[in-house]
Amino acid sequence: MSSAEELRRRTRELLAAHPPASTDRLEFLRARFDAGLAWVHYPEGLGGLGAPRSLQAVVDAELEAAGAPDNDPRRIGIGLGMAAPTILKYGTEEQKQRFLRPLWVGEEVWCQLFSEPGAGSDLAALRTRAVREGDEWVVTGQKVWTSSAHVARWAILIARTDPDVPKHRGITYFVCDMTDPGVEVRPLRQITGEAEFNEVFLTDVRIPDSRRLGEVGDGWKVAQTTLNNERVAIGGMRLPREGGMIGPVSKTWRERPELRTHDLHQRLLKLWVESEVSRLTAERLRQQLVAGQPGPEGAGMKLAFARLNQEISGLEVELLGEEGLLYDDWTMRRPELVDFTGREAGYRYLRSKGNSIEGGTTEVLLNIVAERVLGLPAEPRTDKDVAWKDLAR
Amino acid sequence: MSAQPDLLYSEEEEALRAAVRDLLADHCDAPGVIARTESGAPHDREAWKALADGMGLAGLLVPEALGGQGATHREVAVVLEELGRAVAPVPYLTSAVVATEALLSCEAGELLGELASGRRIGALAVALNVAPGGAYKVVRHEGGALHGELTGIADAAAADVLLVPADDGGLYAVDATAATVTPQVSLDLTRPLAVITLDGAPGRLLGDAEPAVRRALRAGAGLLASEQLGLAEWTLTETVRYLKERKQFNRPVGGFQALKHRLAQLWLEVVNLRAAARNAADALATGDDADVAVTVAQAFAAPVAVHAAEEAVQLHGGIGMTWEHPAHLYLKRAKADSIAYGTAGAHREALAGLVDLQAP
């Protein structure tokens, strides 16, 4: 079942039964899911065939050659990258059947309700409460930095179900219906002017117990699956030379000799070298994964990527001189997709400031590297054995 | 750039690493290396014999038909990582890489075989600080003999044969016994420099100096990155180990966040250096994109190795400033390496031309 030949045969059968040219897009995607060709490493009946993940490329190549539509993965990244692996690992059979197909097809967009105004780096200190009432949970609290909340049908949510135990132990993981009348979504405007994220206010939102993922009180453990997948997604992009933030500034340098100065030249060359080495490090990490020798290097990729994006875009604003004093557009827009290298230099400069905060701050990631990779002593913990309700706030 | 470079280590390369590391553990322990720097013979002849004669490593870059092992820069890079980890005082980079590459360029068959077997040690008589594209001094060729003085020649004191560029454009082999080799007091105790004085020394013409020197220095610069990786790795590992043990204020010093963050940053630099060094070694082996790969590796490696060694001295506190502790050997080698075969700045300048990011 796992051979490339077999997958190729199945893909051709799918294409013959549902010719992309004459088939409705959603219909085609549903048929692809049902044929087990959505994500071949998922189990049979859930869009996969239990095949090695590396064979997905075989299917994708056949489909692309035939001009088949895709599920627009960038638009549904949180569903694909974070919700789906968590549902697959911790969901009941019924939950997997209900959620995974519309998630993969893109009919139902997902968002993530984790961070709170008082729980960022210390996510486990979260205050959103879920109180059990019969077969339901009643949820009240405030979440923040939620991308796609304004278009999402479902959310993965962690909330406090037991305030009387230490913070990590009193959390439970749910699937929240974003159309519930108690869910209010407000745009959160960023320093770039746009509102890529939202604040989400939850007031007596009722979640049936059947939408709980994992056991009551196991939410922190379940969330680790989600967060590990997020960091993989943030650091794992494969780029050609000059493929990242260094591309636009190099292009400007070549096209506009009148902007060049000696100081900028030295700094540009240094950043060019660092970008290239960072790209090679990501490539080496990828080769390690393919060879089945995953190393701890992944933990560092996001650190490097954040710093380089910030320094390069900062340099670019300076290089532009008088134009660097301008900004393309302060209008509050609601982009569905974020492109860190998109728009003008000023936008890149401001947006990249978030790169060292989102998905784990640089400071927390350095602690993680120091403790888990280098084996240095952990930070002193005063909250480990204290009931959540007794913590200082 | 065609295919993706292979940035991993093969099983054979890992086996080679283990064998070299074992050998160096027997020959090059830190107290022994420190003691040797104060003797009249800074080079470790026994370790060299074991590496060259015993393991055949001096001939890795030389084809089998010419008496070598017919391996590639990838294997040489692994050997250099281990030599860097041990700051081993052996003329491997200078003889088995730089002099050997110059001879390969000249197709100097017999001499290549002698260097490959380790029976003789060679040194390219170009100052250690010269970058692959940089200007170098030549001696006068007059009346069939060579005249002049060349300074800053690494490992010349250990060499049996000197490869000397002359003003007629030729590269000449000069027997070390026909030259005066005067050791210079060098910053790097484990790769000492010397002055070569030629006063009518006979030289045998090997070929054109220019392509030979360029090729030799490019390989030297590219593979130096692997030595720098070894230096940086040892200093990071040793500093982390020490900071887990050392207690002040009733805590292991390595538990303080200010230090944890510095060490985590350093680890990230070393991880990046490994990718850059592997890429340079692979590019030299395949010939693909080698100029860019070497300049990128050298522009990146020197600051990392120096940073790692400086952090080792600082974070070891007082003990790091003592002659007894080996950290200074690494600091001196790392700082000298940051000048060897061109500074990071010189390589960045070269890169500007290679990737079309021209100066104002």
For residues A345 and A258, membership in a common domain is answered with yes
Q: Is residue A391 part of a domain?
A: no
What is the mean predicted confidence (pLDDT) over B260-289?
A: 97
pLDDT at res. A92 = 97
* SS3 category, B110: helix
What is the mean predicted confidence (pLDDT) over B290-294?
A: 98
Task: Share the mean pLDDT of chain B.
Answer: 96
pLDDT digits 0-9 by tens, A19-38: 999 999 999 999 999 999 99
Residue B318, burial from CB neighbour count under 10 angstroms (0-12, 13-18, 19+): exposed
- Asked if the model's pLDDT at residue B203 lies above 60, the reply is yes
Question: Where does the pLDDT of residue A291 fall: very low under 50, low under 70, confident under 90, or very high at 90 and above?
Answer: confident
Boundary of a domain, candidates A13, A41, A70: A70
The vertex-B81 CA angle with B78 and B86, nearest 5°, equals 135
Question: Where does the pLDDT of residue A310 fall: very low under 50, low under 70, confident under 90, or very high at 90 and above?
Answer: very high
For residues A118 and A199, membership in a common domain is answered with yes
pLDDT digits 0-9 by tens, A336-346: 777 777 789 99
- Asked if the model's pLDDT at residue A116 lies above 90, the reply is yes
List the single best residue of B13, B259, B271 to mutate versus A (max A Cβ within 10 A): B271
pLDDT at res. A237 = 56
Tokens matching residue A44 = 């049979």
Chain A contact set for B282 (CB, 8 A): none
CA A380 to each of CA A65, A155, A375, B252: distance values in angstroms, whole numbers, following the listed order: 56, 34, 15, 12
pLDDT at res. A2 = 60
Q: Which residues of A touch B (CB under 8 A)?
A: 241, 250, 253-254, 257, 260-262, 265-266, 268-270, 272-274, 276-278, 280-281, 283-284, 287-288, 291, 293, 297, 300, 303-304, 363, 366-367, 369-371, 373-380
Q: Is residue A16 part of a domain?
A: yes
Comparing CB atoms, the residue among B7, B296, B356 nearest residue A287 is B7
Boundary of a domain, candidates A182, A217, A252: A217
Question: For residue A288, what is the nearest residue in chain B, using CA coordinates?
Answer: B8
Q: Do A254 and B357 touch (CB under 8 A)?
A: yes
For residues A200 and A311, membership in a common domain is answered with no
Residues 7-36 of B with CB under 8 A from A: 7-8
Q: Is residue A286 part of a domain?
A: yes
What is the mean predicted confidence (pLDDT) over B46-52?
A: 96
> Whose CA is closest to A106, among A64, A146, A78?
A78
Comparing CB atoms, the residue among B251, B265, B356 nearest residue A254 is B356
pLDDT at res. A231 = 53
* SS3 category, A115: coil
Chain B contact set for A380 (CB, 8 A): 255
Q: How many alpha carbons fall within 13 Å on the CB side of residue A178? A: 24
Pairing of strands B180-183, A171-177: unpaired
pLDDT digits 0-9 by tens, B220-257: 999 999 999 999 999 999 999 999 999 999 999 999 99
| Cβ of residue B264 closer than 8 Å to a chain A Cβ | yes
- Residue ranges making up the domain that contains A10: 4-70
Tokens matching residue B129 = 């600080």
Task: Find the CATH number of the domain harbouring A258.
Answer: 1.20.140
| Cβ of residue B1 closer than 8 Å to a chain A Cβ | yes
Count of structural domains, chain A = 3
Which residues have CB under 8 Å from A86's CB, separation 6+?
A156, A173, A213, A222, A223, A225, A226, A229
Tokens matching residue B117 = 């077997």
| Cβ of residue B307 closer than 8 Å to a chain A Cβ | no
For residues A304 and A353, membership in a common domain is answered with yes
Question: For residue B11, what is the nearest residue in chain A, using CA coordinates?
Answer: A291
Q: Is residue A393 part of a domain?
A: no
Distance from CA of A344 to the nearest CA of B (A): 21
Distance from CA of A289 to the nearest CA of B (A): 11
Chain A contact set for B273 (CB, 8 A): 277
Comparing CB atoms, the residue among A241, A272, A303 nearest residue B357 is A272
What is the mean predicted confidence (pLDDT) over A202-210?
A: 98
Torsion-angle region of B143 (φ positive above 0: left; ψ -120 to 50: alpha; else: beta):
left
Chain A contact set for B4 (CB, 8 A): 283, 287
| Partners of A173 in beta bridges | A158, A213
- CA–CA separation, B6 and B77 (whole Å): 13
pLDDT at res. A232 = 53
Comparing CB atoms, the residue among A272, A291, A377 nearest residue B255 is A377
Q: Do B5 and A379 touch (CB under 8 A)?
A: no
Q: Is residue A368 part of a domain?
A: no
Q: Which one is catalytic: A108, A116, A199, A230? A: A230
Q: Do A280 and B244 touch (CB under 8 A)?
A: no
pLDDT at res. A65 = 94
What is the mean predicted confidence (pLDDT) over A251-275?
A: 98
**Side chain identity, residue B52:** A
**Percentage of residues in chain B having pLDDT higher than 70:** 99
Q: Is residue A227 part of a domain?
A: no
- CA–CA separation, A130 and A205 (whole Å): 9
> Does the annotation count A230 as an active-site position?
yes
- CA–CA separation, A319 and A265 (whole Å): 10
Boundary of a domain, candidates A217, A244, A277: A217
- Asked if the model's pLDDT at residue A234 lies above 50, the reply is no
Comparing CB atoms, the residue among B8, B260, B348 nearest residue A376 is B260
pLDDT digits 0-9 by tens, B159-180: 999 999 999 999 999 999 999 9
- Asked if the model's pLDDT at residue A1 lies above 80, the reply is no
Q: Kindly report which listed range (A289-298, B149-158, B290-299) carries the lowest average pLDDT score.
A: A289-298
pLDDT at res. B1 = 42
What domains appear along chain B, each with residue ranges and CATH number?
A: 11-120 (1.10.540.10), 140-210 (2.40.110.10), 211-354 (1.20.140.10)
| Cβ of residue B241 closer than 8 Å to a chain A Cβ | no
- CA–CA separation, A177 and A184 (whole Å): 12
Residue A64, burial from CB neighbour count under 10 angstroms (0-12, 13-18, 19+): exposed
> Whose CA is closest to A83, among A167, A209, A176?
A176
- CA–CA separation, A230 and A365 (whole Å): 13
pLDDT digits 0-9 by tens, A151-183: 999 999 999 999 999 999 999 999 999 999 999
Q: Is residue A82 part of a domain?
A: no
Q: Kindly report which listed range (A229-238, A368-377, B100-109, B147-156) carries the lowest average pLDDT score.
A: A229-238
Radius of gyration of chain A (CA): 23
For residues A190 and A279, membership in a common domain is answered with no
Tokens matching residue A338 = 């974020």
Tokens matching residue B229 = 């990786």
Comparing CB atoms, the residue among B275, B348, B352 nearest residue A284 is B275
Comparing CB atoms, the residue among A268, A367, A378 nearest residue B357 is A268
Question: For residue B261, what is the nearest residue in chain A, using CA coordinates?
Answer: A366
Rounded to an integer, what is the distance from CA B18 to the centroid of its chain?
20
For residues A269 and A334, membership in a common domain is answered with yes
For residues A246 and A206, membership in a common domain is answered with no
pLDDT at res. A301 = 87
Question: For residue A254, what is the nearest residue in chain B, using CA coordinates?
Answer: B357
- CA–CA separation, B357 and B351 (whole Å): 8
For residues A316 and A258, membership in a common domain is answered with yes
Q: Do A262 and B8 touch (CB under 8 A)?
A: no
| Cβ of residue B3 closer than 8 Å to a chain A Cβ | no
- CA–CA separation, A140 and A159 (whole Å): 9
What is the mean predicted confidence (pLDDT) over A264-281?
A: 97
**Percentage of residues in chain A having pLDDT higher than 70:** 97
Q: Do A370 and B260 touch (CB under 8 A)?
A: yes
For residues A266 and A356, membership in a common domain is answered with yes
Task: Find the CATH number of the domain harbouring A194.
Answer: 2.40.110.10
For residues A242 and A353, membership in a common domain is answered with yes
Q: Kindly report which listed range (A281-285, B10-14, B199-203) carries the lowest average pLDDT score.
A: A281-285
What is the mean predicted confidence (pLDDT) over B65-77?
A: 97
Tokens matching residue A51 = 């095949």
- CA–CA separation, A339 and B293 (whole Å): 29
Q: Is residue A370 part of a domain?
A: no
Chain B contact set for A288 (CB, 8 A): 8
Q: For residue B340, report the phi and psi dihedrals to the nearest 5 degrees.
A: -60, 135
H/E run at residue B251: strand B251-252
Looking at chain A, how many residues does it have?
Answer: 393
* SS3 category, A247: helix
- CA–CA separation, B194 and A190 (whole Å): 62
Task: Share the mean pLDDT of chain A.
Answer: 93
List the single best residue of B253, B260, B266, B273 to mutate versus A (max A Cβ within 10 A): B260
CB B296 within 8 A of CB A277: yes
